[in-house]
Amino acid sequence: MGISGNLSPEFALLGFLVSGQSHGYDLHQRFTIELGHVWHLSQSQAYAILKRLEQRGDISAHVVEQEKLPARQMLKITAQGRRRFFEWLELGVGANARSIRLEFLTRLYFSQLHRPENIPQIYQSQLDEIEERIESLENLIEHLPPEQTFNRLSLDLRLQQMRLIQNWMAEIRTQFHISKDIG
Amino acid sequence: MGISGNLSPEFALLGFLVSGQSHGYDLHQRFTIELGHVWHLSQSQAYAILKRLEQRGDISAHVVEQEKLPARQMLKITAQGRRRFFEWLELGVGANARSIRLEFLTRLYFSQLHRPENIPQIYQSQLDEIEERIESLENLIEHLPPEQTFNRLSLDLRLQQMRLIQNWMAEIRTQFHISKDIG
DNA sequence: CCTGATATACCCATTGAGTGAGTATATCAG
DNA sequence: CTGATATACTCACTCAATGGGTATATCAGG
């Protein structure tokens, strides 16, 4: 889990349900419109995740018959689901490029929706993780035997990507009006 | 498949077998030493992949009893496996950051081992893909409705990552002495 | 001599990711 | 009346990945 657990399309669906009950089709639609360039989530994948969430007790479902269209599974978030969602919202996402683009942005999206006052804190802890990661990569590269060409190229790219993300985070600071003196 | 099929730890194992027969434990060791900072492949994952490769007929296995240690499965690449491997070696890997760091580097590694003369061609087609991707991202961003904050942030980051990779590719050009006038 | 770390060598169960296709019905434009 | 599009969901399958478990052998330290 944690670092690359790739769990957040799950939490994103949960996050939409925090605003009120809904059903699979609609959740997938909203996801696609709002975060479709962040992740790609297929319809069947969305249904699979929702089923899992139900099995875990994070959401509850009840069938709603419709006059003309097929019946819907109306989905509600449970107390447990709500708790799990807000716990997730405050976790760090780790510091690899992919999970920052995917998970951190998703977290930011739902923080803005449900907990805007927490944004500075979430922002800062993410930035801290990135800076730690940069140091640890610099260290790794320094101690890598010189003949390890391909491992070095890989680590170099990762390091450069982390530095890029550091700058991109500065853009986010501006866009979300986060002041500098937090943490 | 193709773009993000995530298939190359498979081909990497196959690629080690091009140099001669071996067994699971050793292949996993070599993988970890040579490409351990490119991918992380757990031992059990390695065995799972090798089993799949055998089922497909890309490798063949026969048991070798050992005097003291447990028996080994000696693995040999088949004609089919060899063909599949060299086909893969010439394919493009697509243009997302992750698959370039993982798949492209792996391909480069095995090209150097088994087909050094093909490096310029592989390099160039990868670079072309990256440049196409940059254009297509620029286009997407341009036509994105301004209210789509999070989708925009995601696309922005991807674009910047692609530009970074473009520069990183230039470093590779130098390191591998690839001349500029190819393709 | 015994113990514990390390290396060799492999397997299995489970969870999850992800695709592709199928099943229905309703609406609306041409 | 036909075909595209939208609503709404299900199923079967493959692959990814982790975390454990199972053995045996070697070798160093107490």
- CB-side neighbour CA atoms (13 Å) of A94: 14
Residues B73-83 have a mean pLDDT of 91
Sign of CA dihedral B34, B8, A95, B151: positive
pLDDT surpassing 60 at residue B91: yes
pLDDT band at A145 (very low <50, low <70, confident <90, very high): confident
Q: Count of CB atoms within 10 A of residue B109's CB?
A: 19
A75-79, A148-152, B94-98, B126-130: segment of lowest average pLDDT: B94-98
Q: What is the pLDDT of residues B16-34, one digit of tens each?
A: 999 999 998 999 999 998 9
**pLDDT at position A147:** 87
**pLDDT at position A182:** 53
CA distance A102 to A120: 19
**pLDDT at position B179:** 85
- Among A3, A99, A101, A119, most B C-beta atoms within 10 A, so best to mutate, is A101
Return residues 41-70 of A near B (CB < 8 Å): none
Query: Which chain D nucleotides are covered by protein, judged by CB under 7 A?
Result: 7-12, 15-21, 23-26
Share above pLDDT 70 across residues of chain B, in percent, rounded to a whole number:
91
CB contact, 8 Å: B3 with chain A?
no
Q: Specify the nucleotide whose C1' lies closest to residue B7 (CA).
A: D15
**pLDDT at position B182:** 53
**What is the reported pTM?**
0.88
**Residues B87, B8: contact at Cβ < 8 Å?**
no
CA distance B90 to B56: 21
**pLDDT at position B1:** 32
Q: B49 or B3: which carries more pLDDT confidence?
A: B49
Give the residue whose CA sits closest to C24 at C1': A70
pLDDT band at A16 (very low <50, low <70, confident <90, very high): very high
**Residues A76, A17: contact at Cβ < 8 Å?**
yes
Q: Which residues on A lie below 8 Å from B30 (Cβ)?
A: none
B181 CA, D17 C1': separation in Å? 42
CB contact, 8 Å: A170 with chain B?
no
List, in order, residues 6 or more apart from B174 with CB less than 8 Å away.
none
List, in order, residues 6 or more apart from B157 with CB less than 8 Å away.
A101, A165, A168
Q: A100 or B95: which carries more pLDDT confidence?
A: A100
A2-11, B77-86, B125-134: segment of lowest average pLDDT: A2-11
Q: Is the CB of residue B61 inside 7 Å of nucleic acid strand C?
A: no
CB-closest option in A36, A37, A160 to B164? A160
